[in-house]
Structure 1
Amino acid sequence: MSRVHESAEMFPVHHVPATRPFVWLMEGWDSLIHSWPASLAHGALVAMLGSLILAYEQHPLYIAAAICAFLVIGPVITAGICELSRCRDHGEPCDFSGSLAPLSRNRASLMMFAQVLVFVSLGGFALAALFLYNGTGQIAPAIETTVWGDVARHLTPLQTTTYTATFIVLATGVFLLSVVSVPMIIDRHVDAGTAMRMSLKVALRDFPAMLVWAGLIIALVAFGFGTRLLGMVFVVPLLGHATWFAYRDIVSEA
């Protein structure tokens, strides 16, 4: 399918109140319940992929890798979940296999979007590693000192601050680029650049609502990690469905 090369300014957008993200979550929950087998399958897939890293969860580099991976995989995997909500909105049947159709129809745009997120994540992590090495002479404690122990005991205050600041900046960048990118790609078949420019536009235009939305995402993702990824089975599809309703509210559908 050919990509649509249009300026982000060509698509009409709507202002939303700061409380609107709570409505997106409620609508997302309703959509999750309506298509729960396929929705939970997407969530279980993310949880299983994340569980591969848990064996080394005590080492800061593996923790960083897990966070980077989620920042990249999370927005992209919502494509299938958004497709479930889109089909329901349009009265079209859709199961798990059908929800994967956007991955092939919009492969080029989604791959480019994922590559940008990978570049942002790896670039930020590399800068943090360079800063730590120049400041402390090491990037992180040795693996053997942390795998079977408490990671907090082996991190200096500078390392803790740097890791925290780095991932706050990374998460902010990923959020700004992905507010409506994936649902816009699967609905309007635009290229990744147009979708990301639209996300930046709506994030800055409705900044109060985006602050609330970002806070809800952080809380839900923290819950997912806090339950050793079991909560991700529900968190991932909930956020995916809610992302579709955020897009539908802010940007006019095709």
Structure 2
Amino acid sequence: MAYSNVLVGAGATPATITVRRIGVEDLKIALSRGLDDFLAMPTHAIFLCLFYPLAGLVLARLAFGYSVLPLIFPLASGFALVGPFAALGLYELSRRREAGLDVNATHAFDVMQSSSIGAIAALGALFLVIFGVWLAVANAIYVADFGYAPPASIGAFLRDVFTTSAGWNLIVVGNGVGLLFAAAVLTIGVVSFPLLLDHDVGAAVALKTSIEAVVRNPVTMALWGLIVAALLVLASLPAFLGLAVVLPVLGHATWHLYRRTVDADGTPRPEVTPRPHRDRSGADFPVNLLPWKR
């Protein structure tokens, strides 16, 4: 029964979900509301997403230190492949703000007590596998063009990439394959995680709904993917630091895009087990510095 709930949720009958047609105006509204959420809860969002730029800097340093320089770009671009899963806390804050509930930062972790957590974890594992496969494929493309020998230096690596036919082949093929991975993640993840956070429908239903949303709105969803990619590239240029703003805005906006795309009001809501209450102490730092409610 537990496995069944992970796949199809808690309902006794198959979930009835309506996928709406959306347009460019819906994307504008989702982005506007995502920015509004970020401005209303800025410290919450930065607190939740600060590990992204920090992780990017750490990964870059490891790449330089362990001679895996060719994987820096795949690692950086791979953030987008796990973003839908990692933004769960942002979806929850947007959901609570929309419902007029307390948006204290600690509620971002309520998903851990949700009855949908099994399905969310299953989908999260799928996204991590896709990320790992992308790194393996990117490395294989590099090896096919340049062999197994590591770059002699950063300068030599850049010269090889931008001034040789093998380098241009790496750029074209690598970006083409990366686009396929990004399209696959967009298709299965554009609404699946927000749907699981909002309704206990199971991983299989969430995947099906996300695919249906893309099939029903191919041009609009393709434009959304381009917007996300462009903003992530711009935010990554100053040593990934811009991601501390762009990622939370996109995370909140994704929630609002889901709300405009999917109508699942007839399906069961997740059951959330209340966390035990305890007095705040120094162990709660820095969360105890974020008391704002909206």
Using the size of structure 1 for normalisation, the TM-score is 0.87
- Distance (whole Å) between structure 2 residues aligned to residue 107 and residue 150 of structure 1: 47
Please point out which of 136, 146, 158 is paired with 1:152.
158
- Matched letter for residue 120 of structure 1: I
Which of 146, 162, 181 is 2:173 aligned to?
162
Q: Which amino acid aligns with 1:246?
A: L
**Count of residue pairs brought into register by the alignment:** 249
CA distance in 2, matches of 1:215, 1:97: 32
Are residue 100 (structure 1) and residue 109 (structure 2) matched? Answer: yes
Q: How does 1:181-200 map to 2 (within 5 A)?
A: 181-200=192-211
1:15-48 per-position Cα deviation (integer Å, ceiling 9, x unaligned): 1123321111001111111112211212212222
Structure 1 residue 89: deviation in Å? Answer: 1.0
| Partners of 1:83 and 1:128 in 2: CA distance | 33
Structure 1 gaps of 5+ residues are none
Q: Secondary structure at the match of 2:263?
A: coil
* Letter aligned with residue 44 of structure 1: L
Could you tell me whether the CA contact under 8 Å between 2:46 and 2:244 is conserved in 1?
yes
Q: Percent identity?
A: 20
1:80 deviates by 0.3
Q: Does 1:180 align with 2:188?
A: no
Give 1 or 2 for the bigger CA radius of gyration.
Answer: 2
Q: Which moved more, 1:202-211 or 1:115-124?
A: 115-124
Q: Determine which of 39, 45, 49 is the counterpart of 1:43.
A: 49
**Deviation, structure 1 residue 73:** 3.1
| 2:213 counterpart residue number | 202
> Residues 137 and 234 (structure 1 numbering): CA distance in 2 closer, same or farther, change over 3 Å?
closer
CA RMSD of aligned residues (A): 2.5
Tell me which residue corresponds to 1:250: 261
- CA shift, 1:169, in A, is 1.1
Q: In the aligned structure 1, how far is the partner of 2:76 from the partner of 2:100? A: 37
Please state how far the C-alpha of 1:162 moved relative to its aligned partner: 2.1
One-letter amino acid of the structure 2 residue matched with residue 49 of structure 1: A
- CA change 1:247–1:157 in 2 (3 A) is same
| Rounded Cα–Cα distance in structure 1 between residues aligned with 2:242 and 2:137 | 31
Q: 1:154 to 1:90 in 2, by over 3 A?
A: same
- Residue 226 of structure 1 and its aligned partner are, at CA, apart by 1.1
Q: Which amino acid aligns with 1:28?
A: G
- The superposition leaves residues 84-112 of structure 1 with CA deviations (integer Å, 9 ceiling, x where unpaired) of 11001111102221111114424322221
> How far apart, CA to CA, are the structure 1 residues paired with 2:156 and 2:215?
40
| Alignment of 1:65 onto 2:75 | yes
Q: Residue 75 of structure 1 is aligned with which of 84, 95, 108?
A: 84
Normalized per residue, which structure has more helix?
1
Partner of 1:111: 121
* 1:29 alignment partner in structure 2: 35
Q: Which moved more, 1:38-47 or 1:57-66?
A: 57-66
Q: Deviations over 1:62-101 (max 9, x none)?
A: 3213322x13431112110010110011111022211111
Q: Distance in 1 between matches of 2:246 and 2:102?
A: 23
Measure, in 1, the Cα distance between the counterparts of 2:54 and 2:81: 16
SS across alignment from 1:100: helix
Cα distance in 2 between the residues matched to 1:238 and 1:252: 23
